Structure formats: structure tokens, C-alpha cells
């Protein structure tokens, strides 16, 4: 009787604990503050059975506080040839913790990821969510268990994976068999990892988090991954589809990638002869590279193919020569093979690509990359080639792969390198405008703008991807002049060390200037004005100020106005100079009879600045906005 009572008390304690996970009333106020949803429990177990197989089990309980937290009440699970979903369950509870319904098999959607033309993989997704609830809060629970046979990739644990999401309790356990080593790195977690060893030599590593308040990202703050608690894990030794490798160092990773793709660069004799003929009259290495690269762009197209180990192993060069298409690995390998025929060595570079993608963590060797480009050494000069883009000039990486690190894959292993960096002087906007102002404030304008480097990318994309009518609509949305009509316009691409686009526009505006009695009010900068000012903060800033490559640029605007006959300036505008750690702004006006010349220059420097400089940043932007609102007042003589 004594033991039965103790057992019942323990059971009752477990039931009370379980029920509290679903009751909204038990949530402390600190976890509700700034939160749209709260992770009540997040329990992840990753059990490695061998170098080539593991089981992953995740139990997640989330209380949704309002409509903006509904996206946390969704569960998505991917699977492919190298993984399988063994369990997918879910349940819905009301605010009191009462079960409303359980997830049924028919509630779980199963679909392929092949949703875009030119993209082929074996990835499929199962997803589930409950019908939109009439009231808040409510709680969902999901349990997901998978078998993983691609142990190149170990989990990255992020229980607090979004802004305005707090966490009550979370645990992450990785269990390793005897003889295998776990590599791990915890970020923004103060508690040390707990390590235990069983009698048969298995090791368990456990991380625990509790009572994490919701994160609110500050303006221009570091990326969330620098602020959220994260545990990165990776294997040392691993197996995947009969291939064995090691990830202890970047050199090991590069060696595995090289071995995986070795011998797949053999070209048919006809293609080899074609390459020889292509470069036989070109004396320089750079010229040969440019000719072969142009040949690649003219005769192949990009198709993403990610099937099993094919996500990392290239299609052989002979197949690309026959089909004329391939993914980033295949086209890079094909270009490398053609350069080899021309006697030019080249090496693949793995990179984490994407305009808004964060850089790879170079302090933790692991598979963090999603793209491959080609590196062509040439003495002190190095040329990088983006082999999936049929329009990009040789050597230019854009913001897609530039300004970050890559893993150069050499026969003896890999090493981290810096990809091309684009400075303000590379990313220029040089604008010249001729404006004729009528006495009623109407105006006609001819605008010529020259964009280079990263500033050219958006316009080059519009130039090549949009029809003429689509370009017109796109332009109209980007021009901020009130009551204007867009006349003729056109784009011209220019080839050079940096790609460039020149844009020519013809504009008519009914209210470029405003009139009042005998006065004419002429705003000097309508096309390039920066009118928005960052918000001031009510509390001291916590995080550094981070400005990405979009803040590395130089703009020059030269605007020549022809004012109506009989008008004279009422006052003179002095030159404006605004100096700051973030950049430099200058503007000046010269008046010669009916001719007014306005010259504005803005140079910005991206980077990372201390949190204490945020007030300086706001002040700088406020001064620039004020200067950009400058106008001249003309008075009509009697």
C-alpha cells in the first residue's frame, strides 16, 4: 500500500506537469511580454546509431497568444531518399488546457518541393496545421520522429527561432555511440553542456534552456542568429551512400568534396577540340578564360538537380556536354574541365549564397554551403566565375556570393578564402539631369544615370528579365516625383572590370516646382532624396549597429535647372557638408542667370558600429534628410 501510494503521487505529479504545458494561465508575465507565442516545451533528441544512421525526435508544445503567432502553430517536415518520417502527430488544446482535437492522418499534407521550373530534387514535405481558432490563447503540440541517413549534416538546434517568441523550457540531447566523436558549438547559451557516459561507452550531450524572454530586433541589428541561443553540431567521421568522410577541419571537408567529384571532369574529344579552336588565337590567360566563359554562357543553361548524394556530387562533364544543362556543381565542373583543356587550372569554391544569406561560420567546420562557383588563379590576379548566370561578366560575384567567405577545394583539401569585396567606389550611381522649369511649376527632364557594381544589379535584372511594358510599370513605382509622366526610356549594359548599366529617362512633371504669388519654390533633389529617418529608441540600445553591403555606395547627382525668364533667387544657399563615421554628404548650388546647377554627393560605409553610435546614426540621417529637402526660392521681377 505504501509503494502504491507513492506511485500514485508520482503519477499525479507527472500529470499535473503535463497539463500545465497546455494551460495558458500558468504562463508568467515575463514570457508574455513582447511575445506573440510561447514555446512551452521543446525537446529534441538526436540518437546516432552509426556513422551512417541516426534517429531524430522532436516534441514541440507552443501556446499561441494572438493572430501574429499563428505561424508557430504549423509543423513542416522534409524527407527524401536519405531520410524517412516515422512519426508525425499533433494535438490542439484550448486556453484551459482541454484537448480539442488530435491531428488525423488526413490533416497532414504530403507534397513535392518541385514547384518551380528548372528545379528537380527528391525532397518532399509533410505539413500540418489546425483550423484557425476563434479565440486566443490556444496551444498546439507536435511530435516528429525521423530516420536520417545523411550524416554529413547533424542538427542545428534553435528552439527560439523567431522574433516575438519566448521559451519556457527546451532541451537538446545528442547521443553518440562508442568510437564516434561529436563536434559542437553553443552560441548565446551560458549554461555548459552536460555530458554523461553509459557503461557501454555511449556518450550523451545535453543542453538546457529555460525562461527566455521574447527577442525584439532593433533597427539595423545583427542577424537573429547572432542573438538567439543556438547549438551547432557536426560529426567527425560519417558515411553517406557508401562514401566515407571526416569533418574535423575545413581541409577534411574540402578533401571529401574533391574525392566525391574526382574523375567527373572528362570531356568528349569533340568538345576538347572546340575549346582548343576557341582559344588558339588568344594570347592571354584572362582572354582565354573570358572566351571559354562566354562559350559556357551561350551554350548551357542552369537547372537545379538535387537527388540523393547528387546534392553534393556533380553530374559528369560529358553529360553536360550532351544535354547543355546542369546545376551549379555541374556547370562549374564543366567550366573547370574546359579550362583544363586550355591548360588553365581552376578550383571549385563552396559558398553560402543569397542576397540576404548570412556568411558561413568559419570557426566551425561543417556543411554550411548551398552553392558552388569557380576560382581561376592567375599569378597575383584571381578571377571568380558564376557559372549559373548567362549574363554576368567574368570576375563579378554580385551580392549573391560576394562579401563573404568560401571554401576553396584543392586536391589536398579545402581552405577558407575571402570572396570578392565590393567597396563604396565600386558601387556607384552617377546621375545627370537636365530640367526645364515652366513659370507654372511644370517641368520636362532628361535623366541619365550610370550604375556600377552592386548598384547595377537591380537594374540589370529589370533590363533582362522584364518586358518593355513591365519595365515601365516598375520604373513608375520607383520614381518619387509627384504628378509625373514617363516618356521614352531605355537601358544599356556596359562591360568592364565592373558591370554597369546606363539608364536614360524622359520625364514630364506637372508640379516639379510650386508657385505662390510672384514666388517659385524649386526643390533641388527629387530623384535621390533620402527622406526617411531611423526611429529613435526609448531605451538604451543593446546591440551593435550593422549595415550590410547595401550601405557601401557612392552617389553623385548633377542637376542643371533652366528657370523661367524674369525670375531671380531670393536668397543664396550655402554649401552643405555633413561628416560622419558612417559616410559623407555634400551639396552645393551655383546660379548663373537662368541656369541653376545643383551637385550632391553621398558616400556611405557599411560595417559594424558600437551600439552607442546609434544616436549618431539617427542624427546623421536626420541632417541628410533635412539637406535633401532644400529648395531655392525665386522671385519674379516686375
User: What pTM, to 2 d.p., does this model score?
Assistant: 0.90
pLDDT at position 309 = 60
* 288 close to 279: Cβ distance less than 8 angstroms: yes
From 8-12, 349-353, 406-410, 441-445, the region with the lowest mean pLDDT: 8-12
Are 163 and 216 spatial neighbours (Cβ–Cβ below 8 Å)? yes
Residue ranges of alpha helices (H) inside 511-601 are none
The answer, yes or no, to whether residue 531 has pLDDT greater than 90, is no
563: DSSP letter: P
Taking only the tens place, the pLDDT of each residue in 166-196 is 999 999 999 999 999 999 999 999 999 999 9
Query: What is the average per-residue pLDDT within 253-282?
Result: 95
| CATH 2.60.120.1130 holds for 424-636 | yes
d(CA 11, CA 617): 58
Evaluate if residue 563 carries a pLDDT over 90: yes
The pLDDT of residue 397 is above 70:
yes
Radius of gyration over every alpha carbon of the chain, rounded to an integer in angstroms: 30
Considering only CA atoms, which of 414, 391, 410 is closest in space to residue 465?
391
Out of 304-308, 456-460, 467-471, 508-512, least confident range = 304-308
The predicted pLDDT at position 638 comes to 67
* 311 prior amide bond cis, ω within 30: no
Asked whether the predicted pLDDT for residue 108 surpasses 60, the reply is yes
Q: What is the mean pLDDT of the chain?
A: 92
Question: Per-residue pLDDT averaged across 443-459, rounded?
Answer: 96
Residue 526 CA from chain centroid, whole number? 31
For the stretch 23-81, pLDDT in tens is 999 999 999 999 999 999 999 999 999 999 999 999 999 999 999 999 999 999 988 88
- Given a cut of 60, whether residue 281 has pLDDT beyond it is yes
Question: Residue ranges per domain, the chain?
Answer: 20-242, 249-418, 424-636
Q: Please report the pLDDT score of residue 505 as a whole number.
A: 96
Averaged pLDDT for residues 89-99: 96
Under the banding of pLDDT at 50, 70 and 90, the label for residue 122 is low
For residue 59, give every residue at least 6 positions away whose Cβ sits within 8 Å of its Cβ, in sequence order, or none.
41, 42, 43, 141, 142, 143
Quick one: pLDDT at residue 79? 87
Look up cell 571554401; give the residue. Answer: 407
Predicted pLDDT of residue 305: 65
Please tell me the predicted confidence (pLDDT) of residue 312.
Answer: 83
- Closest to 34 (Cα-Cα) out of 215, 226, 160: 215
In this predicted structure, the answer to whether residue 9 has a pLDDT above a threshold of 50 is no
Residues 230, 217 contacting (CB under 8 angstroms): no
Q: Please check the confidence at residue 10 and state whether its pLDDT lies above 70.
A: no
φ and ψ at 545, to 5 degrees? -90, 120
> Domain 249-418 belongs to what architecture?
Roll (3.10)
The pLDDT tens digits of the residues spanning 398-424 come to 999 999 999 999 999 999 999 999 999
Answer whether 148's CB lies under 8 Å from 56's CB.
yes
Let me know: does 78 contact 124? Beta carbons within 8 Å.
yes
Closest CA to 356 of 306, 407, 403: 403
| pLDDT score of 3 more than 50 | no
Mean pLDDT of 200-223: 95
**Tens digits of per-residue pLDDT, 339-386?**
999 999 999 999 999 987 889 999 999 999 999 999 999 888 899 999
In this predicted structure, the answer to whether residue 226 has a pLDDT above a threshold of 80 is yes
More confident residue, 123 or 91: 91
Q: What percent of the chain has pLDDT over 90?
A: 84
pLDDT tens profile 564-598: 999 999 999 999 999 999 999 999 999 999 999 99
20-242: CATH number: 2.60.40.3140
Query: Model confidence at 12, in pLDDT bands (50, 70, 90)?
Result: very low
Q: Is the pLDDT of residue 298 over 80?
A: yes
Amino acid at each position: 500500500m505504501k509503494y502504491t501510494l507513492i506511485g500514485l503521487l508520482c503519477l499525479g505529479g507527472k500529470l499535473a506537469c503535463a497539463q500545465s504545458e497546455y494551460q495558458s494561465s500558468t504562463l508568467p508575465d515575463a514570457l508574455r511580454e513582447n511575445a506573440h507565442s510561447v514555446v512551452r516545451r521543446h525537446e529534441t533528441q538526436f540518437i546516432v546509431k552509426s556513422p551512417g544512421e541516426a534517429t531524430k525526435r522532436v516534441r514541440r508544445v507552443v501556446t499561441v497568444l494572438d493572430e501574429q503567432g499563428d505561424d508557430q502553430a504549423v509543423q513542416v517536415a522534409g524527407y527524401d531518399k536519405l531520410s524517412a518520417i516515422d512519426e508525425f502527430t499533433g494535438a490542439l488544446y484550448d486556453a484551459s488546457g482541454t484537448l480539442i482535437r488530435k491531428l488525423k492522418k488526413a490533416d497532414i499534407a504530403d507534397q513535392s518541393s518541385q514547384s518551380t521550373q528548372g528545379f528537380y530534387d527528391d525532397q518532399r514535405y509533410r505539413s500540418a496545421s489546425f483550423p484557425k481558432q476563434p479565440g486566443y490563447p490556444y496551444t498546439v503540440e507536435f511530435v516528429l520522429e525521423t530516420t536520417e541517413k545523411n550524416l554529413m549534416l547533424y542538427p542545428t538546434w534553435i528552439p527560439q527561432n523567431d522574433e516575438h517568441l519566448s521559451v519556457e523550457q527546451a532541451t537538446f540531447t545528442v547521443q553518440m555511440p562508442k568510437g564516434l566523436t561529436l563536434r559542437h558549438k553553443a552560441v548565446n547559451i551560458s549554461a555548459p553542456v552536460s555530458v554523461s557516459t553509459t557503461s557501454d561507452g555511449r556518450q550523451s550531450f545535453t543542453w538546457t534552456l529555460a525562461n527566455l524572454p521574447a527577442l525584439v530586433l532593433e533597427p539595423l541589428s545583427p542577424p537573429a542568429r547572432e542573438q538567439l541561443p543556438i547549438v551547432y553540431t557536426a560529426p567527425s567521421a560519417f558515411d553517406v551512400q557508401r562514401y566515407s568522410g571526416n569533418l574535423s577541419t575545413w581541409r577534411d571537408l574540402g578533401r571529401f568534396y574533391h574525392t566525391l567529384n574526382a574523375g567527373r571532369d572528362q570531356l568528349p574529344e569533340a568538345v576538347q577540340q572546340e575549346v582548343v579552336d576557341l582559344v588558339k588565337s588568344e594570347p592571354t590567360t584572362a582572354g582565354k578564360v573570358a572566351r571559354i566563359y562566354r562559350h559556357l554562357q551561350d551554350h548551357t543553361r542552369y537547372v537545379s538537380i538535387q537527388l540523393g548524394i547528387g546534392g553534393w556530387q556533380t553530374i559528369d562533364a560529358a553529360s553536360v556536354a550532351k544535354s547543355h544543362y546542369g546545376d551549379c556543381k555541374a556547370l562549374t565542373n564543366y567550366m573547370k574541365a574546359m579550362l583544363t583543356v586550355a591548360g588553365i587550372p581552376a578550383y571549385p569554391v563552396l559558398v553560402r549564397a543569397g542576397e540576404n544569406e548570412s556568411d558561413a561560420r568559419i570557426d566551425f567546420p561543417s556543411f554550411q554551403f548551398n552553392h558552388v562557383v569557380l576560382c581561376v588563379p592567375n599569378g597575383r590576379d584571381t578571377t571568380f566565375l558564376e557559372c549559373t548566370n548567362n549574363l554576368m561578366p567574368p570576375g563579378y560575384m554580385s551580392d549573391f556570393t560576394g562579401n563573404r567567405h568560401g571554401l576553396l577545394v584543392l586536391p589536398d583539401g579545402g581552405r577558407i578564402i575571402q570572396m570578392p569585396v565590393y567597396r563604396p567606389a565600386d558601387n556607384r550611381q552617377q546621375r545627370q539631369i537636365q530640367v526645364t522649369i515652366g513659370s507654372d511649376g511644370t517641368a520636362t527632364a532628361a535623366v541619365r544615370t550610370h550604375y556600377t557594381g552592386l548598384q547595377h544589379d537591380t537594374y540589370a535584372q529589370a533590363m533582362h528579365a522584364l518586358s518593355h511594358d513591365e519595365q515601365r510599370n516598375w520604373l513608375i513605382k520607383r520614381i518619387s516625383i509627384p504628378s509625373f509622366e514617363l516618356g521614352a526610356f531605355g537601358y544599356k549594359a556596359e562591360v568592364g572590370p565592373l558591370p554597369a548599366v546606363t539608364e536614360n529617362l524622359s520625364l514630364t512633371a506637372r508640379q516639379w516646382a510650386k508657385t505662390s504669388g510672384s514666388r517659385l519654390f524649386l526643390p533641388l533633389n527629387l530623384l535621390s532624396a533620402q527622406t526617411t529617418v531611423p526611429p529613435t529608441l526609448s531605451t538604451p540600445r543593446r546591440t551593435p549597429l550593422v549595415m550590410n553591403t547595401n550601405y557601401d555606395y557612392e552617389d553623385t547627382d548633377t542637376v542643371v535647372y533652366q528657370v523661367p525668364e524674369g525670375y531671380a533667387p531670393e536668397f543664396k544657399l550655402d554649401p552643405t557638408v555633413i561628416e560622419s563615421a558612417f559616410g559623407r554628404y555634400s551639396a552645393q548650388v551655383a546660379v548663373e542667370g537662368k541656369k541653376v546647377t545643383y551637385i550632391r554627393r553621398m558616400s556611405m560605409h557599411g560595417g559594424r558600429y558600437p551600439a552607442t553610435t546609434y544616436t549618431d546614426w539617427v542624427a546623421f540621417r536626420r541632417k541628410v534628410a533635412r539637406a535633401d529637402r532644400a529648395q531655392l526660392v525665386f522671385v519674379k521681377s516686375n
